[in-house]
Amino acid sequence: MPNNSKEARELLAMKQRIETAKTEKARVEGELNAIKKTMADEFGTSDPKKIQTKVNGLREQVGRLRVQITEGLAVLRGELGE
């Protein structure tokens, strides 16, 4: 009988680990859904590939704007005689 008692404890411990894993899975899925909603709100999509494409486009736009600002400042400095 001691063997059955040990097996029962092991089964109960396993059941508890399974329940803990289910709870953790539900928590992580909730977090994932919240992240997807935030992405959809911020970028208009929750598809990571589409978001990366948008981010790359924004980076290029920032680079172009940076060049325009630098060139504009150079023109202003030239006009001001600096």
What DSSP state is assigned to residue 1?
A: -
Contact partners, residue 66, CB within 8 Å, separation at least 6 = none
Tens-digit pLDDT string for the chain (82 aa): 457 898 999 999 999 999 999 999 999 999 999 999 999 999 899 999 999 999 999 999 999 999 999 999 999 999 888 7
Is residue 54 within 8 A of residue 43, CB to CB? The reply is yes
The pTM is what? 0.60
Distance from the Cα of residue 66 to its chain's centroid: 27
The whole-number pLDDT of residue 2 equals 53
Q: Where do the structural domains in the chain lie, given as residue ranges?
A: 1-44, 47-82
| Pairwise CA distance, residues 15 & 8, whole Å | 10
Tokens, residue 25: 């899975």
Calpha distance 60→67 (Å, rounded): 11
The whole-number pLDDT of residue 1 equals 47
- Single-letter amino acid, residue 59: R
The reported pLDDT for the residue numbered 39 is 92
